[in-house]
Structure 1
Amino acid sequence: MDAARPSVPASGGPAVRIGLIGRGIGSSLTPVMHEVEGRRQGLDYRYDLIDFDRLGLDDADLGAVVEAARDRGFRGLNVTYPFKQAVIPLLDGLEPEAAAIGAVNTVVLHDGGRMGHNTDCWGFAQSVRKGLGPVALDHVVQIGAGGAGAAVAHALAQLGAMSVDIVDSDLGRARQLAERIAETSKVRTQALVPAHLGQVIGMAAGVVNATPVGMEKLPGLPLDPDLLNRRQWVADVIYFPRETDLLRRAAAKGCRTLAGGGMAIYQAVRAFRLFTGIEPDSAEMGRTFAAYA
């Protein structure tokens, strides 16, 4: 399991080894946030990137990679695109929020077991609270119903959204998420395909991109920016690149924007606590993120 990682000097404290599983994750700042905070806490903290693209692995290798991490003494794994849902059958259990969301981004390995958690939901909600403050949530259009989208939709419900339109090229997946949100909250939901965006986006108070479109690995725009108007706020879950084309175009139209960096920081804060049992300093992790961004 060869993996690249940032160069952060180790401390002489207890050894903790963590990994991030995904595709196209070479620019991720999660490793350095964890390693710097681990060193600050007196741990010998190593965080490896397990990039399926760079290592030439198939999606079908996911189970073997998780098993190898456990066998090699990893304390845990973070999981990102495209494995947040595919990893679930490989686990021994899910904590309640991860089960409700139907997606996992954090796997704690202990006593031979594999427990799935979701720190993305809280991470996105906290990012909105800190990065946007009070914003209109009467009607939000969310693009993407995959692993990140599931967490974001639940976060929007927790933040008090009244109505969420979930847009995905896979209408069945959008419907499944919309139904799950409607069943577990008072949020009104509907599922749509991208061709219907023009019918609803102009009425929305906010728009969230929860797809991987716009990542360095998948450049492009998840929607036509001409559909946006200056009264809206626009958020993106992507943080590499630090500012996506979508956010650049939205800001040019006068929209308030929220980059994915905040979500990346806060999900890492909660994951660090799950991996170590130690409460990290979120401000310090944020400063590390800013220093390396």
Structure 2
Amino acid sequence: MIEIYTDGSCLGNPGPGGWAAIILDTNDPDKTPSRIKGNCPDTTNNRMELLAVIEGIASTPSDRKIKVYSDSKYVVDTLNKNWKRKANLDLWEKLDQQIHNRNIEYIWIKGHANNTHNEEADNIAQQEANNIAQNPPTSTNLSHTDKTGKISMVDISNKNTTLRIAKATCDVMTSHESFLAIKNNKIEKGDVISSARIAGILAAKKTSSIIPLCHPILISHIEIAFNLDEANNVISITSKVTSSGQTGVEMEALTAVTISALTIYDMCKSIDKQTTITNIRLLKKSGGKSGIINFE
């Protein structure tokens, strides 16, 4: 008989995570238990719990009877009670492959209940999560090129769905005459600010049609704000885009302010040939493995 004690940990859920499995051979009580572990920079607690079970079973001979002990009801009840699998389907498929035609029993144990092996697995998993959080992986490779250097859309199918938010800004510098005409709604083509806001919203939703390698995403909310600085004849545009998905919304936020600015330029070019669009930049992003990045 082989006993496997597994546990997973995640900081933030989603966030940096770790997993561990303690493997004991009850036929040889003097044998030192095997300990395997791993981590992931952007994951969930359930994925780490699953991965611990997968890797633990994969580390054992296929002809041995196994008892898997886990404090995850998500894992144990899905296996024992046939709970419907709604997420992490890639890992469930891997687990199905590992357990096919094997004699395995799945047992739930209460976490933090002074079970020596469960506590050890928990401690190792937490340590792995802390390690990857403190030392995130870095890469100098461009994400949109393959091994041969050809352009390629990034595969996001295995990324976790998280709340993604991005803010961007840009400035439109005008003549004083043009600025006052915009402010007082005297532009012949119509309401410049309202038109620019609508254009920015539409552009954010169409970003994947404009930028070749952007993924089509489901946007939850778009905000576009305008600040009119009469002393400097500058219109500052700020966008905030929100989505719950597998990829960020930085490009949507940047596209929104850019098209808003171009709309102002288009509507005012008849009276101001020197309107300048400048300082297009990302202000803030959150969600995904890189967490919060703030340039404000």
Into which bin does the TM-score normalised by the smaller protein fall? under 0.3
Q: TM-score, normalised by structure 1?
A: 0.21
Structure having the higher strand fraction is: 2
The structure whose RCO (Cα within 8 Å, separation 6+) is larger is 2
Structure having the higher helix fraction is: 1
Q: TM-score, normalised by structure 2?
A: 0.21
